[in-house]
Chain A
Amino acid sequence: MSHQYQAIAWNRQKRVYDIVLVAGVTLYLTLFIGVSAFLFPYATATTLIIRAAGSAAFLLLHIVLCIGPLCRLDPTFLPLLYNRRHLGVVTFLLGAIHSAAAIKQFHSLGDKDPLVSLLTSNQDFGSLPDFPFQQLGFLALIILFLMAATSHDFWLSNLTPPVWKTLHMLVYVAYALLVGHVTLGLLQSETSALLAVGTGVSLLTVITLHVAAARREAKVDSKKLGPVADGFVNACAVSGIPEKCATVVSVNGERVAIFKYDGKISAISNVCRHQNGPLGEGKIIDGCVTCPWHGYQYLPDNGASPPPFTERVSTFQTRIVNARVWIDPTPNPPGTWVEPSPIETSEVMA
């Protein structure tokens, strides 16, 4: 967590994640280059590197973009989210190798500077089949670089989570540019139906998963809460909250996680201070609400991380009436202690 600076807080899960990642990418590149060299014996080494690194980066970006919605739809995929930033950095590195090899092959033999050649050699913006697709890839690479360079928690902390999140939403712009790069580049010169179908299916998969996850999220936000009494709103049934877990409700446009633990109820903001992860989808471990994304922890009664950590989230007043949880929609300042509402035995059974 955040009480002192560490370049990388390595743990077993991170090591396993990165070993699998590096092994997977190495295997892909080796197989791609090996099979391509066999099928196309006249292809140059640079051509093989361009294609292997480019296709690996494009595939990896699809995986990166699918992890978020998959985790919203099924918590089984949460372990993939843990080090998703490492996937993003590897995607940038593969894209950089692809670009360097392409610039060497197509732009380094003339009189012009290779970068000037890349940006000016084709300006046929009015034609789809002849569109300057390399410029699209170059712009996408700049975005991926910005994201990779700011992927460390140092930047997350200095830029603040909202700014950092906004910056990293540029991944969708990069994705759009790369779909254009592939469609107007590779798919114009390559006549294999397999490539066109593969690209189309990948695009459809990313869109379908995001739309499905968005529909699921919208359901939570649009769910009507019960009546208001004495400033409190009727949020949910006590029996509907699993032990040491939460029910998430949307109050005044913000989500609140209502936790049940050790015969008590507490409510805190659903938004983790680290990367805005959904605290309500985490569990109470060792007495602390634990974010499912990266394991940041908060005490359920005051929303503060246990010492020496300093993160704090908002808390909410709760009360239990007739086996229903009522919450005050006005959040307390982050870290404010709130008396947990005790659950009577009869209410648990209700």
Chain B
Amino acid sequence: MIQPLRKIHRRIFFLLALLLPALFVSGIVFRYSWPTVNQSRNPTAHPQPSGATP
């Protein structure tokens, strides 16, 4: 009873172990701007008030 579930679990996880790092690395590599140590520049996160100097 338990062995088929174990096999499914193993297969799913080995598939994810290959796919997820590939997705993560691709997502980082193909982004428009590379990660920096600077603060966030996401305008929706903390928009500058009108008249402020960026």
Residues of A participating in the B interface, judged by any CB pair closer than 8 Å:
40-43, 47, 51, 128-129, 162, 165-166, 169, 172, 175-176, 179-180, 183-184, 187-197, 199-200, 203-204, 207, 210-211, 214, 217, 253-255, 270-271, 276
Contacts and interface: CB of A to CB of B under 8 A. Distances in A.
Contacts, number: 112
Given A184-B27, A271-B2, A40 B46 contact: yes
B33 interface: yes
5 contacts: A129-B32, A179-B20, A191-B38, A192-B39, A254-B3
A272 B16 CA distance: 28
Given A175-B16, A189-B45, A190-B40, 14 more contacts: A42-B48, A128-B31, A129-B30, A169-B5, A169-B12, A187-B27, A191-B34, A192-B35, A192-B37, A196-B28, A196-B35, A199-B24, A254-B1, A254-B2
Contact of B28 (A176, A183, A211, A270): A183
A203 B27 CA distance: 14
B10 A214 contact: yes
Contact of B17 (A165, A197, A207): A207
Contact of A188 (B27, B39, B44): B27
Given A191-B34, A191-B38, A196-B28, A207 B20 contact: yes
A102 B22 CA distance: 27
The 3 closest A-B pairs by CB, nearest first: A183-B27, A40-B46, A193-B35
Nearest to A42: B46
Nearest to B2: A271
Contacts of A51: 45
A179 B24 contact: yes
A276 B2 contact: yes
A305 B24 CA distance: 47
A62 to B, nearest CB: 12
Given A42-B48, A169-B12, A191-B36, A253 B3 contact: yes
A191 B33 contact: yes
B31 A188 contact: yes
Contact of A191 (B10, B13, B21, B35): B35
A162 B45 contact: no
Contacts of A166: 5, 8
